[in-house]
């Protein structure tokens, strides 16, 4: 069918019944929310009830039902026709906007009984469709909706209105038309609206374009016998006329001997009447503007026919109108994924950008979805048949889809990332970060200037300077583990237990950075701290105190570059084991420091200069943990800002600073699914300058 029409017929009671007819579905591919690939509905397998509710916007509410339609399949397309029966506000809004020229579209709703994912080519509804697409083999038509915007923006439902005005509330208007010699039954919608407006204002009717002047009311004696004395019966309402048609008087009267000019005029009038009748027949009340222009400009029947055909082609839908398929809540993959993320404790604000507010609002309704419901929904989304009762076949059906593993993988990844980012990591505050391209040992170079600026001799000669190349290394290693979603977890509906695994692995991945850093720091790899480097001191006087801290700051500031010049970098972090945390805070945060003992009579300042050093206390349990070589509950360190001095570097593979979660196939003897977590990471010392270690006690003998 080429176009859709909304036809308004005013009944004798004054109520307007809108006729709805049009193309509901042409049998091709349509895109639907929640379906990964396009959908083709097999009309041969569609169960069509005798009467189908006409709704607004697919809303299943009493007030949204505005009428009934009948549907039929013709030439592999679904056509509908029916009436708007309701008189509520929604129905009146549809009718009034249609009368004003608004475009409406149709959208149908159906229940899917059986569907299948097609990857190759298949002929459906007389059309060859190329995969991948979902073939809805069996469905039940449930409703048709009037919508403002359908699935395809190019489709429109045109409006043409015809009025039959008999009695009732329009009696006064009919009398007014009769008084002015206007045939009410031959009016189209546009002319009727203009006349109604003049009637409401109390004005005379606007001049109507006529093909001939209306015969004046005169006595038979004064009218030539060739001119009709009274109009013939009006044409049937099915063919509304814009001009009142008249017929010749019955035979029996003799024509007076008039001039040939009058006969030619009468012949011209008859020809014009025939032309107007042909134009009206072609337009059929569906193209009032074309009809008006054709009559006014004198178009022939052939010219009018071409204009009507052109208008019909332009208004023909180019694609399917909206097609709504009803499913249980949560049938959209993004909604299910967002619901599981909410259940896993992922903050809503962190998900807003990826999923959007509307998806999150729907996800809140499904956040209590069970593990078994998840398997069933994912299978149905992709057209995979599942048994009525949950069983091993249901599990296999779920794992055979693309949606289920993808959803679980994404949720596990977000849970792991949240845990990884929530875990406090000390090393990232003390070390610089670098990018490594492979797993081979990489050399990290930096250029250091050698030689000061020298005074220029009177002859103007400048001395050559040089750059010294200093080298350090770093190398990546891969750390990872495997975890599974087992058949037992699925039957027990234990989604919480499954999500605890990536949560724990995220925390472990973050802690791995600290483990690698403190392992090398405490073991003093490469003689990192030594008196030769000017960054190490042992002895009883190195126990953490105001005096020892003052000396450590001095030692830090006295460090020199390769040419013996001070590096001129201040310490930023004071790193202490847990046993010294309070001591460190007391030293740095006290307003006054008092000397102990009564023998010293010297004047003692009460200002704590260390409080102005802006040192940040960093406490770590790794320093005193006996799993690490070189652990101590008394040793402490000063570190510079890693943005100024590269003391240690944390290397990542091509800049990926977070662990990776991947889904893999389970073993044949395991009814479940496996995931692996891995993290490519390397931590190495880079420069002895920018850090100082005080042992906090006498060095061990040996």
Selection from 79-88, 177-186, 522-531 with the highest mean pLDDT: 522-531
Confidence of residue 687 (pLDDT cuts 50, 70, 90): confident
User: How would DSSP label each residue in 584-652?
Assistant: HHHHHH-S------SS--S------GGGGS-PEEEE-GGGG-TTSTT--SS-EEEE--TTT--SEEEEE
Q: Hunting for tokens 């009762």 — which residue is that?
A: 389
- SS3 of residue 213 by DSSP: coil
Are 18 and 154 in a shared domain? Answer: yes
For residue 256, is it within any domain? no
For residue 74, is it within any domain? yes
pLDDT above 70 covers what percent of the chain? 73
Judged by average pLDDT, the poorest of 126-130, 356-360, 409-413, 580-584 is: 356-360
For residue 676, is it within any domain? yes
pLDDT in tens, 662-672: 877 656 556 67
Are 292 and 356 in a shared domain? Answer: no
Are 297 and 400 in a shared domain? Answer: no
Are 26 and 103 in a shared domain? Answer: yes
The DSSP letter of residue 37 is S
Confidence of residue 313 (pLDDT cuts 50, 70, 90): low
Are 140 and 6 in a shared domain? Answer: yes
Question: What does R_g of the chain's alpha carbons equal in angstroms?
Answer: 45
Are 536 and 658 in a shared domain? Answer: yes
Q: Are 69 and 80 in contact (CB under 8 A)?
A: yes
Q: Are 311 and 289 in contact (CB under 8 A)?
A: no
Confidence of residue 323 (pLDDT cuts 50, 70, 90): very low
Higher pLDDT, 174 or 636: 636
- Among 326, 348, 371, the domain-final residue is 326
For residue 231, the number of C-alpha atoms closer than 13 Å in the C-beta half-sphere is: 15
Are 494 and 360 in a shared domain? Answer: no
The CA–CA distances, whole Å, from 428 to 248, 510, 660 equal 104, 10, 19
pLDDT above 90 covers what percent of the chain? 20
Confidence of residue 448 (pLDDT cuts 50, 70, 90): low
- SS3 of residue 375 by DSSP: helix
> Is residue 404 scored above 90 in pLDDT?
no
CA 346/CA 364 separation, integer angstroms = 13
Per-residue pLDDT, 225:
37
- Among 422, 456, 485, the domain-final residue is 422
pLDDT in tens, 384-396: 888 888 888 888 8
Are 375 and 494 in a shared domain? Answer: no
154: number of Cβ within 10 Å: 11
- Among 406, 422, 438, the domain-final residue is 422
- SS3 of residue 468 by DSSP: strand
Per-residue pLDDT, 482:
86
CA 390/CA 375 separation, integer angstroms = 9
Per-residue pLDDT, 314:
65
For residue 168, is it within any domain? no
* Percent composition of the chain: helix, strand, coil (DSSP 3-state, to 5): 35, 25, 40
Per-residue pLDDT, 589:
85
Is the backbone peptide bond immediately before 132 cis, with ω within 30 degrees of 0? yes
> Is residue 248 scored above 60 in pLDDT?
no
The first and second tokens of residue 298, run together, are 């004198």
CATH number of the domain to which 476 belongs: 3.90.1690
Confidence of residue 468 (pLDDT cuts 50, 70, 90): low
pLDDT in tens, 209-239: 544 444 444 444 433 333 333 444 444 333 3
Judged by average pLDDT, the poorest of 125-129, 166-170, 181-185 is: 166-170
> Is residue 98 scored above 80 in pLDDT?
no
Give the mean model confidence (pLDDT) for residues 557-583: 89
For residue 362, is it within any domain? yes
Per-residue pLDDT, 406:
86
The whole domain housing 610 covers: 472-702
For residue 127, is it within any domain? yes
Give the mean model confidence (pLDDT) for residues 263-287: 78
Per-residue pLDDT, 153:
44
Are 152 and 276 in a shared domain? Answer: yes
> Is residue 240 scored above 90 in pLDDT?
no
Higher pLDDT, 221 or 68: 68
Per-residue pLDDT, 623:
96
Which residues, in sequence order, are bridge partners of residue 326? 111
For residue 215, is it within any domain? no
User: How would DSSP label each residue in 303-343?
Assistant: HHHHHHHHHHHHTS-SS--EEEEE--TT-SHHHHHHHHHHH
Name the helix (H) or strand (E) containing 372: helix 371-381
- Mean pLDDT, all residues of the chain: 76
> Is residue 9 scored above 50 in pLDDT?
no
The pTM of the full predicted model, rounded to 2 decimals, is 0.51
Per-residue pLDDT, 598:
55
Per-residue pLDDT, 7:
42
Are 400 and 503 in a shared domain? Answer: no
> Is residue 403 scored above 90 in pLDDT?
no
CA 683/CA 474 separation, integer angstroms = 7
Give the mean model confidence (pLDDT) for residues 317-337: 56
- SS3 of residue 206 by DSSP: coil
> Is residue 578 scored above 90 in pLDDT?
yes
Higher pLDDT, 160 or 152: 152
Per-residue pLDDT, 624:
95
Confidence of residue 2 (pLDDT cuts 50, 70, 90): very low
Selection from 83-97, 385-399, 548-562 with the highest mean pLDDT: 548-562
For residue 591, is it within any domain? yes
Per-residue pLDDT, 59:
77
Are 298 and 367 in a shared domain? Answer: no
CA 241/CA 247 separation, integer angstroms = 15
How many structural domains is the chain composed of? 3
Per-residue pLDDT, 502:
87
Per-residue pLDDT, 45:
92
pLDDT in tens, 37-58: 788 889 999 999 989 888 887 7
Confidence of residue 444 (pLDDT cuts 50, 70, 90): confident
Selection from 52-66, 290-304, 416-430 with the highest mean pLDDT: 416-430
> Is residue 186 scored above 70 in pLDDT?
no
Q: Are 94 and 146 in contact (CB under 8 A)?
A: yes
Are 390 and 503 in a shared domain? Answer: no
Higher pLDDT, 7 or 430: 430
């Amino acid at each position: 069918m080429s176009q859709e029409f909304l036809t308004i017929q005013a009944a004798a009671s004054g109520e307007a019944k809108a006729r709805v007819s049009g193309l509901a579905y042409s049998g091709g591919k349509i895109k639907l929310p929640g379906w990964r690939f396009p959908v083709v509905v097999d009309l041969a397998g569609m169960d069509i009830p005798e009467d189908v509710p006409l709704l607004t916007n697919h809303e299943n509410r009493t007030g949204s039902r505005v009428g009934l339609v009948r549907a039929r399949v013709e030439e592999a397309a679904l056509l509908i026709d029916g009436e708007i029966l309701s008189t509520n506000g929604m129905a009146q809004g549809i009718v009034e906007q249609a009368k004003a020229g608004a475009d409406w579209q149709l959208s149908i709703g159906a229940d899917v009984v059986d569907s299948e994912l097609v990857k190759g080519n298949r002929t459906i509804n007389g059309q060859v469709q190329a995969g991948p697409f979902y073939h809805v083999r069996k469905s039940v038509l449930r409703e048709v909706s009037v919508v403002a915007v359908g699935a395809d923006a190019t489709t429109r439902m045109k409006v043409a209105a015809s009025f039959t005005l008999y009695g009732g509330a329009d009696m006064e208007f009919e009398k007014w038309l009769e008084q002015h010699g206007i045939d009410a039954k031959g009016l189209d919608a546009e002319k009727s609206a203009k006349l109604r407006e003049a009637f409401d204002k109390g004005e005379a009717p606007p001049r109507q374009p006529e093909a001939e002047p209306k015969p004046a009311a005169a006595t038979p004696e004064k009218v030539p016998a060739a001119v009709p004395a009274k109009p013939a019966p009006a044409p049937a309402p099915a063919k509304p006329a814009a001009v009142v048609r008249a017929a010749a008087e019955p035979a029996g009267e003799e024509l007076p001997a008039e001039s040939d000019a009058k006969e030619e005029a009468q012949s011209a009038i008859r020809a014009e009447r025939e032309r107007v009748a042909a134009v009206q027949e072609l337009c059929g009340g569906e193209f009032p503007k074309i009809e008006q222009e054709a009559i006014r400009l004198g178009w022939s029947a052939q010219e009018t026919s071409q204009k009507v055909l052109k208008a019909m082609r332009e208004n023909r839908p180019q694609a399917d109108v909206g097609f709504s398929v009803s499913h249980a809540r949560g049938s959209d993959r993004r909604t299910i994924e967002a619901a599981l993320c909410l259940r896993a404790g992922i903050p809503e604000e962190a998900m807003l950008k990826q999923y959007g507010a509307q998806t999150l609002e729907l996800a809140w309704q499904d956040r209590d979805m069970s593990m078994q419901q998840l398997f069933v929904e994912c299978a149905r989304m992709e057209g995979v048949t599942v048994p009525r009762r949950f069983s091993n076949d249901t599990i296999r059906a779920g794992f055979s889809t693309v949606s289920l593993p993808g959803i679980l993988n994404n949720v596990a990844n977000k849970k792991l990332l949240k845990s990884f980012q929530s875990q406090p990591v000390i090393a990232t505050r003390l070390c610089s970060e670098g990018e490594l391209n492979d797993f081979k040992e990489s050399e990290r170079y930096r250029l250091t200037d050698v030689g000061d600026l020298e005074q220029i001799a009177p002859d103007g000669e400048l001395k050559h300077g040089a750059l010294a190349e200093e080298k350090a290394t770093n190398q990546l290693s891969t750390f990872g583990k495997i975890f599974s979603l087992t058949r037992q977890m699925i039957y027990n509906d234990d989604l919480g237990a499954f999500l605890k695994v990536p949560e724990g692995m995220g925390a472990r991945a973050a802690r791995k950075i600290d483990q690698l850093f403190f392992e090398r720091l405490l073991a003093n790899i490469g003689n990192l701290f030594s008196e030769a480097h000017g960054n190490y001191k042992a002895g009883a006087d190195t126990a953490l105190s105001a005096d020892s801290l003052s000396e450590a700051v001095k030692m830090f500031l006295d460090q020199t570059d390769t040419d013996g010049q001070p590096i001129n970098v201040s310490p930023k972090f004071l790193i202490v084991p847990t046993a010294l945390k309070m001591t460190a805070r007391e030293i740095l945060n006290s307003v006054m420091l008092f000397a102990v003992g009564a023998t010293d009579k010297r004047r003692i300042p009460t200002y704590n200069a260390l409080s102005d050093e802006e040192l940040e206390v960093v406490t770590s349990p790794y320093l005193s943990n006996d799993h690490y070589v070189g652990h101590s509950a008394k040793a402490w360190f000063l570190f510079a800002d890693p943005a100024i001095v590269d003391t240690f570097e944390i290397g990542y593979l091509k800049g990926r600073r977070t662990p990776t979660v991947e889904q893999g196939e389970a073993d044949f003897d395991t009814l479940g699914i496996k995931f692996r977590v891995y993290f490519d990471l390397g931590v190495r010392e880079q420069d002895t300058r920018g850090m100082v270690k005080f042992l906090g006690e006498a060095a061990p003998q040996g």
